[in-house]
Chains A and B, each alone.
Chain A
Amino acid sequence: MSARYVPVGWNTSKAVYDAIALATIAIYIFLFLHIAPSFVDTTQPWDGTSLKMRAYGSCAFLLLSVLLSIGPLARLDRRFLPLLYNRRHLGVITCAVALMHASAVLGWYFSYGPGDAYVLLLSANTSYGRIAGFPFEIFGLAALLVLIALAATSHDFWLSFLTPPVWKALHMAVYGAYFAVVLHVALGALQASTNPFLGMVVLACASGVAGLHVAAGRRARAADAAVARPLPQAPWVMAGEIADIVEDRAITVHLADAEPVAIFRHAGKLSAVSNLCAHQNGPLGEGKIIDGCITCPWHGFQYHPEDGCAPAPFTEKLATFNLRVADGKIWLDPRPNPPGTRVEPVAA
């Protein structure tokens, strides 16, 4: 993160993440270009442009599947959290590979005839009324436009400008893009291929991605359903037992009609803040305290536990909450204080 505008706030983790991603992509494309032709039906060999088109296209599809699996995997198993850290760079790389695929496709259309490749792309096939031979290119184009829009707005400048809820809603368009990509593959590559391996891979990827999201969604729903019990001394609610909170960690309290609250234990004292990180609404309650600051598990944004303020020179602020402790139990007032309000930590 950065307190002022920089194109990319590089650090060692980001450089290693990007290097591994780029090396993996280069190896995949190299192997595809050299190995795939030996599996092709000899009666219908691929030319050079067609081979590149398939190498880039399959790589973009696999990357998008991996990209969409990272979020639910990180929710289901904390060991996948490092993959989430630099996910936006992987998204931009995916968009670049998809553009390489589109460029190869246009090259193929250029060699098709003397006409304009862009016109030929959209007008060579207008069989919209039937499934076999449907102009599947239109779905690929729609997905590509969404990926370009998301890559262009992936920088923290846009996140700050649009606010995290709007930015997150906008970037959920990637699910629509994935749907369009699956249609693009189903009506394009799958129709042209006689190899059952391709169909199995695409089916496994699409089912796997959707299955992971549903599994993570079920876990989130179970947590949302376990709302804190209101007390006779309303509006206070029973948040849990002190013994439930490990030092420098938190419990997440789910409220009936509001966002969850994270209660942290640090230096033997308890503090409560909104569970939503001001950066991308990451789950702060799944993070930990590092150097005296609450640290978001997604991208490492930090806040002081007692007032919810990010350490200087950063300016992000979280809502804080009042706590009481009695008989080893923690009571929470679910009414949030204005962001940045200092609340004296309660002795555990």
Chain B
Amino acid sequence: MQRRHRIAHRRMWGVLLILLPLILLASLALRRTGPSEAAAIMLAPPK
């Protein structure tokens, strides 16, 4: 690769190494908790 491509490449991936995991972790943290993930509501005591 040409030197300018190598430099652009290096800078771009340096940013993405931080950004990609941050986006994924943030998206997991901000995930909506649906009814299936909510604690089960006991309607009647177990027999």
Number of interface residues of A (CB under 8 A): 37
Q: Is the CB of B6 within 8 A of A211?
A: no
Q: Would A187 and B27 count as touching, CB distance under 8 A?
A: yes
Supposing A172-B5, A186-B24, A220-B6 touch, asked if A214 and B30 sit within 8 A by C-beta, the answer is no
Size category of the B interface is: 20 to 34
CB <8 Å contact, B10 and A217:
yes
Nearest CB on A from B32, distance (A)? 5
Interface 1/0s, chain B 1-40, versus A by CB < 8 A?
1110110111011101101110111111011101011000
Mask of A39-59 contacts with B, CB within 8 angstroms, 1/0:
001011000000000000000
The one of A175, A203, A221 in contact with B21, judged by C-beta atoms closer than 8 angstroms, is A203
A residues within 8 A CB of B20? 179, 182, 206-207, 210
Query: Residue on B with the closest CB to A190?
Result: B27
Q: Known interface pairs A43-B36, A259-B2, A281-B2. Does A182 touch B23 (Cβ–Cβ under 8 Å)?
A: yes
A44 near B36: Cβ-Cβ < 8 Å: yes
| Contact A217 to B13, CB < 8 A, known contacts A179-B20, A206-B20, A281-B2 | yes
A210 adjacent to B27 (CB under 8 Å): no
Contact A182 B24 (CB under 8 A): yes
Q: Which residue of B lies closest to A193 (CB)?
A: B31
| Inter-chain contact total with CB atoms closer than 8 Å | 91
* CB of A266 within 8 Å of the partner chain: no
A211 lies within 8 A of B17 (CB): yes
Check: A328 CB closer than 8 A to any chain B CB: no
Contact of B36 among A179, A187, A194, A259 (CB under 8 A): A194
B17 contacts which of A182, A203, A207, A259 (Cβ < 8 Å)?
A: A207
Asked whether any CB of chain B lies closer than 8 Å to the CB of A24, the reply is no
CA distance A334 to B17 in the complex (A): 36
Q: Is residue A165 contacting chain B, with contact meaning CB distance below 8 A?
A: yes
* Candidates A133, A182, A202; contact of B32 at CB < 8 Å: A133
Inter-chain contact A191/B31, CB cutoff 8 Å: yes
B3 / chain A contacts, CB cutoff of 8 Å: 224, 259
A267 to chain B minimum Cβ distance, whole angstroms, is 30
Cβ of A169 under 8 Å from chain B? yes
Bound complex: CA A206 to CA B27 (Å): 14
Query: How distant is A72 from chain B, measured CB to nearest CB, in Å?
Result: 9
Q: Please name all residues of chain B whose beta carbon is closer than 8 Å to the beta carbon of A133 when the two chains form the complex.
A: 32
1/0 contact string of A161-180 vs chain B (CB within 8 Å): 00001001100100100010
27 example contacts (A-B, Cβ-Cβ < 8 A) are as follows A131-B27, A132-B30, A132-B31, A175-B13, A175-B16, A182-B23, A182-B24, A183-B23, A186-B23, A186-B27, A187-B27, A190-B28, A190-B31, A191-B27, A191-B31, A194-B37, A203-B21, A210-B20, A210-B21, A213-B9, A213-B17, A217-B10, A217-B14, A220-B6, A220-B10, A224-B3, A224-B6
Given A203-B21, A220-B10, 6 further pairs, Cβ under 8 A = A169-B5, A172-B9, A179-B16, A194-B36, A214-B14, A224-B6
